[in-house]
């Protein structure tokens, strides 16, 4: 989808709109984390995306520069820096020349750095929020798929098994609750995990430029959660 989102065509803009909508929360949380109030953060998030979507934002997400996550954080930082500068200028009475947030984007490097040792705590926080958003989207996708198939209850009862195998969850209880045999529950869990795995891959696939980056990105997201 990052590929699709590149360029000025209307469909590119629509694709970018979708991506931004999906990752609104990590941006919002990042701004909160930096010490802003909820209302201010919400307005700022809105403004950021509005301006991002108004400019030809994704042009800078070149394949070699990688991930949409990194791009968005870079753009966000640039946007904040720009804003600060403008605020200063206004204070000094200068005319505010609103620059496109991409211009000179390279100086804040919207390209990508995998675990960047120099990254700030806030960067890690942004990535953590991103990981949660990926997980949330994948869960929602699987859930709505199952609900459409009339298996919403199955999702509710069995989703705790998405954490992997543990003795602390009772399949017998789940089987009783769902009126299934334990064998059928095992099959359903196996399938749920498979669907979730695919949903995560699809979700991450939308934010990277090459399929082979999916695994690497997922590994990184797990790392930032630790």
Q: Which helix (H) or strand (E) holds 11?
A: helix 10-22
Given the rule CB under 8 A, which of 34-42, 51-59, 68-76, 213-221 is the region that contacts other proteins? 213-221
Given the rule CB under 8 A, which of 69-77, 83-91, 118-126, 187-195 is the region that contacts other proteins? 187-195
- With tokens 């791009």, the residue in question is 71
- Mention every residue, 6+ apart, whose C-beta is less than 8 A from residue 37: none
Q: What is the DSSP string of 96-114?
A: P----TTTTGGGG--S--S
Residues 139-178 contacting other proteins, CB under 8 A: 139, 155-156, 159-166, 168-172, 176
Q: Taking a C-beta distance cutoff of 8 angstroms, is the pair 140, 133 a contact? A: no
- Closest approach of Cβ 82 to other proteins, in Å? 29
Residues 28-87 contacting other proteins, CB under 8 A: 29
- With tokens 């990105």, the residue in question is 217
Q: Is 3 in the site for other proteins (CB under 8 A)?
A: no
Rounded Cα distance between 197 and 174, Å, is: 21
Residues 113-132 contacting other proteins, CB under 8 A: 131-132
Q: Taking a C-beta distance cutoff of 8 angstroms, is the pair 78, 51 a contact? A: no
The residue from 33, 36, 83, 193 that contacts other proteins (CB under 8 A) is: 193
Interface contacts to other proteins, rule CB under 8 A: 29, 131-132, 134-136, 138-139, 155-156, 159-166, 168-172, 176, 180-191, 193-194, 196-197, 200, 215, 218-219, 221-222, 225-226
């Amino acid at each position: 989808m990052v590929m699709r989102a590149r360029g000025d065509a209307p469909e590119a803009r629509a694709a970018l709109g979708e991506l931004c909508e999906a990752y609104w929360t990590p941006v919002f949380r990042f701004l909160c984390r930096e010490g802003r109030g909820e209302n201010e953060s919400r307005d700022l998030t809105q403004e950021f995306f509005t301006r991002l979507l108004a400019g030809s934002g994704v042009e800078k997400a070149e394949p070699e520069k990688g991930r949409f996550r990194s791009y968005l954080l870079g753009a966000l930082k640039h946007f904040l820096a720009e804003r600060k500068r403008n605020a200063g200028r206004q204070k000094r009475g200068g005319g505010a020349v609103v620059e496109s947030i991409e211009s000179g984007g390279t100086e804040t490097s919207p390209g990508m750095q995998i675990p960047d040792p120099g990254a700030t705590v806030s960067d890690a926080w942004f990535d953590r929020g991103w990981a949660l958003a990926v997980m949330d989207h994948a869960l929602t996708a699987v859930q709505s798929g199952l609900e459409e198939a009339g298996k919403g209850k199955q999702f509710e009862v069995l989703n705790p098994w998405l954490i992997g195998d543990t003795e602390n969850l009772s399949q017998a209880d789940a089987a009783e609750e769902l009126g299934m045999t334990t064998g059928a529950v095992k099959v359903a869990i196996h399938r749920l995990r498979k669907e979730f795995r695919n949903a995560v891959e699809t979700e991450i696939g939308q934010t990277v430029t090459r399929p082979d980056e999916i695994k690497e990105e997922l590994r990184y997201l797990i790392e930032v959660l630790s």
